[in-house]
Amino acid sequence: MQSVSKVMGNITMAFKVLDTFECECGQVVELIETPILGGPQKGQLMQYKKNCRCEDLKILEKIRQDNREQAKRKVTKIFDLHSLINPKLKEATFGSFRRDLPENTPEQNQSLSAAYFKATEYVKTFKLEEPKNLLFQGTFGNGKSHLAVSIAKAIRDKGYSVIFISTPKLLTKIRSTYNKNSEQTELDVIRHIELADLVVFDDIGAESTNEGWAMQKLFEVFDQRSGKHNVFTTNLSSQEFEAKKDLKRIFSRLMQDTEPVVINAKDYRKRHLKKAVSS
Ligand SMILES: [Zn+2]
């Protein structure tokens, strides 16, 4: 049997540094050539990169990728499970938003462009630690819900938990939990809304929701969302909000830390909204 020092001596002699270079993993790596010590390939030369971290980084990157995909699945699940969204709005994206409708006046198209810009800016500058609210206001069918859905999807795709809610549907759902056969409680419905990084409340003040109970509920829900990111849309003008006591209370709650974006509206509305915001 050979002594240990003799074996080590043989290895040292056969051990050759072929090259030293900075590897793509960032390490200074030695390319080593050395004979294989045992097994069927004994005696053959093999090469390896000493200090190389490429394999480790590949494994780490794979773990990160898996985590990202898991997070994405999670936020997609939250969005799909808890959103209350009208079917025809489901496919809306920034890409399908029209800002150049031939039937519009140049001013109206300008208003659409400005709203589009606000919406994309909101997505670009979205930071959890700097909560911001947007209120899209304008008459029925002018694209505000389309923009709100686009925002929701884009923020979700950034990995944040987002819920899009048709406000009338939310109230119907809450009301349905009062039924003694209901599997969900009101708390079940509201808890997810409270926890989400962003909630879009679409169609606030729609006809069926203007009663006292509904207004009280909405006020509670909005209150829970204060200090977080929210996007609101409404068909109502500022005057319509001001006309009823309950609505007025909701409106002043909504406008805290909220930037209004008026789409396709006449000047007097804009002026009035600005006045309402600054007062
Ligand atoms: Zn390397």
Give distance in angstroms: CA of 29 to centre of ligand 1: 7
Distance of alpha carbon 200 from the chain centroid? 11
Task: Specify whether 179 is located in the same domain as 272.
Answer: yes
pLDDT (tens digit, 9 = 90+) per residue, 145-203?
999 999 999 999 998 999 999 998 898 888 888 888 888 888 888 888 998 999 999 98
Name the β-bridge partners of 259: 134
User: Which of the four pLDDT bands, split at 50, 70 and 90, describes residue 228?
Assistant: very high
Give distance in angstroms: CA of 60 to centre of ligand 1: 14
Task: Specify whether 124 is located in the same domain as 208.
Answer: yes
Residue 271's pLDDT is: 38
Task: Specify whether 12 is located in the same domain as 94.
Answer: no
Give distance in angstroms: CA of 18 to centre of ligand 1: 15
- How far apart CA 165 and CA 94 sit, in angstroms, is 18
Q: Which of 137-141, 199-203, 217-221 has the highest mean pLDDT?
A: 199-203
Residue 83's pLDDT is: 87
Residue 21's pLDDT is: 96
Residue 177 lies in a domain: yes
Alpha helices in 126-211 (DSSP H): 144-157, 167-176, 186-195
Give distance in angstroms: CA of 20 to centre of ligand 1: 12
Task: Specify whether 32 is located in the same domain as 159.
Answer: no
Give distance in angstroms: CA of 9 to centre of ligand 1: 28
Question: 17 in helix, strand or coil?
Answer: strand
Residue 101 lies in a domain: yes
Residue 54's pLDDT is: 95
Phi, psi angle pair for 236, to nearest 5°: -75, 145
Residue 269's pLDDT is: 35
- How far apart CA 80 and CA 203 sit, in angstroms, is 19
> Lowest-pLDDT range, 91-100, 169-178, 200-209?
200-209
Give distance in angstroms: CA of 108 to centre of ligand 1: 57
Pair type for strands 28-35 and 198-204: unpaired
Give distance in angstroms: CA of 40 to centre of ligand 1: 28
Task: Specify whether 39 is located in the same domain as 85.
Answer: no
**Considering just the CA atoms, what is the radius of gyration of the chain in Å?**
30
Task: Specify whether 30 is located in the same domain as 81.
Answer: no
User: Which of the four pLDDT bands, split at 50, 70 and 90, describes residue 89?
Assistant: confident
Give distance in angstroms: CA of 10 to centre of ligand 1: 28
The neighbourhood of ligand 1, an ion, using CB within 5 A, equals 23, 25, 52, 54
Task: Specify whether 38 is located in the same domain as 170.
Answer: no
Mean pLDDT (the chain) is 84
Residue 249: Cβ-neighbour burial (10 angstroms; 0-12, 13-18, 19+):
middle
Residue 66 lies in a domain: no
Give distance in angstroms: CA of 62 to centre of ligand 1: 16
pLDDT (tens digit, 9 = 90+) per residue, 12-53?
557 899 999 999 999 999 999 999 888 898 889 999 999 999
Q: What is the mean pLDDT of residues 247-256?
A: 81
Give distance in angstroms: CA of 57 to centre of ligand 1: 9
Residue 50's pLDDT is: 94
CATH number at residue 266: 3.40.50.300
Give distance in angstroms: CA of 28 to centre of ligand 1: 8
Give distance in angstroms: CA of 82 to centre of ligand 1: 45
> Lowest-pLDDT range, 87-96, 127-136, 237-246?
237-246
Residue 122 lies in a domain: yes
Structural domain total, the chain: 2
Residue 75 lies in a domain: yes
Give distance in angstroms: CA of 34 to centre of ligand 1: 19
Q: What is the mean pLDDT of residues 119-129?
A: 96
Parent domain of 266: 71-278
User: Which of the four pLDDT bands, split at 50, 70 and 90, describes residue 117?
Assistant: very high
Give distance in angstroms: CA of 49 to centre of ligand 1: 7
Q: What is the mean pLDDT of residues 236-255?
A: 81
Query: Which residue has 């206001």 as its token pair?
Result: 137
- How far apart CA 251 and CA 245 sit, in angstroms, is 10
pLDDT of 220 above 60? yes
